A and B are shown apart, each in its own frame.
Chain A
Amino acid sequence: EVQLVESGGGLVQPGGSLRLSCAASGFMFSSYDMHWVRQATGKGLEWVSGFGTAGHTYYADSVKGRFTISGENARNSLYLQMNSLRAGDTAVYYCARALVGITRTNWYFDLWGRGTLVTVSS
Chain B
Amino acid sequence: SQTIHQWPATLVQPVGSPLSLECTVEGTSNPNLYWYRQAAGRGLQLLFYSVGIGQISSEVPQNLSASRPQDRQFILSSKKLLLSDSGFYLCAYYPGQGSEAKNIQYFGAGTRLSVL
To the question of whether A and B form a pair in one complex, the answer is no
What is the interface of chain A, defined by CB distance below 8 A to chain B?
none
What is the interface of chain B, defined by CB distance below 8 A to chain A?
none
